[in-house]
Amino acid sequence: MTTANVCIILAIVVYLAGMIVIGYFNSKTTGSSSDFYLGGRKLGPVVTALSTEASDMSAYLLMGVPGLALFCGVAEASWTAIGLAAGTYLNWLFVARRLRLYSAKLDAITVPDFLSRRFHDRSKLIETIGALVIVIFFVPYTASAFVACGKLFNNMFGWAYVPTMIVSAIVIVAYCTLGGFMAASITSLIQALMMSFALIVVLIFGIRTAGGWGAVIENAKTVPGYLSLFASTSIESSAAGKYGFITIVSTLAWGLGYFGMPHVLIHFMAAKEEKQLKTSRRIATVWVVISLGVAVIIGLVGFAIMRLGLIESFASASAAESVIVRTAALMSQNGVFFAIIAGVILAGILAATMSTADVQLLAAASGITHNLLGSVFGLKLDEKKNLLIARLGVIAIAIVAIFFALNPNSSIFRVVSFAWAGFGATFGPVMLFALFWKRCNASGAIAGMVAGAVSIFLWKFLVRPLGGAWDIYELLPAFLVGSLFIVVVSLTTKAPEKEIVEEFESIS
């Protein structure tokens, strides 16, 4: 094993050990299932901001977006980034404060829990549907994070994909089961800083290695439509297609997903004080805009380095997702210092993965243990046993996700895209109407959630393959269908009870 590889592995091991230590120390203060799932609503403004965005910006920030930009040019990656940045800001602006206040008033600790209590749903249908949707979509989402870990070690060291993927999953599960949401949030803060470091260093090193920014642009110009926001292309194309208005709107629809992301929304619910959320919003928005912008540019830089023959050529967008890994490997060849920096960069990729996987595991486990077992099926346990069940739930979800992650060839960007649409269409419309429309009732909420979830599958597998004008990201039509069902069913069924309306009006 080379000195460079030893330095890289050492940096990664130190990072992984640090995450487990954080989980261990936070286990001392996790005395209830509420602490485990929501951290006792103690997150300060900086932790709230960066842990929220780190949990959102998963492996697709350091792998998916750069890989897509490298292989397909700037159009899809840039419009996706613009949609995500806009969605981030609007979610913080409109949803964060009101959800924090409302969820605290109702003593809700999960998203299905909040929706059920908001509509006084005695049938438990809202909670059941919400919990099932969380499990269905979070398993592949979490699996994509495990895939990223396995790909990283396989690409960097040639180690077997499956064993390294499983070991990475075990580390994530370890600090999650120990420290719960607070451990996940503190580690996510650290991981956000590491992700930032990785992006900046790779960008600077990549531009210098490619021969300067001018060389990056000149290489990009050799591919038709590569630098155009209105062209569809790839590095294998001899001609560019059109990236038209419908496709742009479809891609921007990524931003709608934020209103329904359980792993983002629970951070709003966990904030210590609602008045601090304005500061959190500013920090989060700036971080997201800079991070996504740099991720797209790294794709262009990676293409220039590839054209110089310094890293291997990529045969697909999925393969191109390892561009930062390959760049870090190139950096490690410049001595011990740069090898350690490369190790930190690779730890940053692990950070991007773990910061999402941990809170997803918690959200998925809460759907089973707190919502289904505790609320729907009425399993009554003391606090100690509740905490044990919560931790076992995290382990169970992780095991299922590992099986989904056994295929190393799945595209991280595409898997995240589908899961993102599922959450956005199921929870997004109902969350907005629950927070801002007092006439919305339980029947409308149930109809909207079911319609949104079903529409995702119908559009993805039946309508979108028709192509042409129908080739729209499934989140957009499903979000609109869910919203329509909420409005129509709410207006044609009994109005909410006086108590529910008064509760709604009390949230200022």
pLDDT of residue 103: 92
DSSP code string of 21-34: HHHHHHHTT--SHH
pLDDT band for position 102 (cuts 50, 70, 90): very high
pLDDT of residue 360: 67
pLDDT band for position 110 (cuts 50, 70, 90): confident
Contacts of 28 (CB under 8 A, 6+ apart): none
What average pLDDT does the segment 226-239 reach?
89
pLDDT of residue 240: 84
At 291, list the tokens.
């991070």
Which carries the bigger pLDDT value, residue 238 or residue 243?
Answer: 243
pLDDT of residue 39: 55
482 within 8 A of 448, measured Cβ to Cβ: yes
Q: What is the Cα–Cα distance from 118 to 104, expressed in whole angstroms?
A: 11
29-43, 263-277, 392-406, 418-432: segment of lowest average pLDDT? 29-43
Q: What percent of the chain has pLDDT over 70?
A: 84
Which carries the bigger pLDDT value, residue 218 or residue 420?
Answer: 218
Beta-bridged to residue 242, according to DSSP, are 231
Q: Tell me which residue has tokens 């930062």.
A: 324
Q: What is the Cα–Cα distance from 8 to 152, expressed in whole angstroms?
A: 12
DSSP percent split of the chain into helix, strand, coil, nearest 5: 80, 0, 20
pLDDT of residue 319: 83
Q: What is the Cα–Cα distance from 429 to 480, expressed in whole angstroms?
A: 8
Residue 438 has pLDDT above 90, yes or no: yes
pLDDT band for position 409 (cuts 50, 70, 90): low
Which carries the bigger pLDDT value, residue 348 or residue 390?
Answer: 348
pLDDT band for position 293 (cuts 50, 70, 90): very high
pLDDT of residue 315: 85
Residue 33 has pLDDT above 60, yes or no: no
pLDDT band for position 375 (cuts 50, 70, 90): low
Find which of 137-151, 251-265, 269-283, 286-300 is predicted with most confidence, using mean pLDDT: 286-300
* Encoded amino acid at 270, one letter: A
Which carries the bigger pLDDT value, residue 361 or residue 102?
Answer: 102
Residue 27 has pLDDT above 60, yes or no: no
Average pLDDT over the chain reads: 84
69-73, 189-193, 225-229: segment of lowest average pLDDT? 189-193
Residue 38 has pLDDT above 60, yes or no: no
Q: What is the Cα–Cα distance from 115 to 130, expressed in whole angstroms?
A: 9
pLDDT of residue 308: 92
Residue 411 has pLDDT above 90, yes or no: no
Query: Which stretches of 255-366 are assigned E, i.e. beta strand?
Result: none
Closest CA to 365 of 22, 32, 33: 33
pLDDT of residue 340: 85
What average pLDDT does the segment 398-415 reach?
73
pLDDT of residue 341: 87
pLDDT of residue 178: 61
pLDDT of residue 382: 62
99 within 8 A of 332, measured Cβ to Cβ: no
pLDDT band for position 491 (cuts 50, 70, 90): very high
Q: What is the Cα–Cα distance from 175 to 22, expressed in whole angstroms?
A: 7
Residue 484 has pLDDT above 90, yes or no: yes
Predicted confidence (pLDDT) per residue in 144-191, tens digit? 778 877 877 787 777 888 888 888 888 777 766 665 656 667 777 777
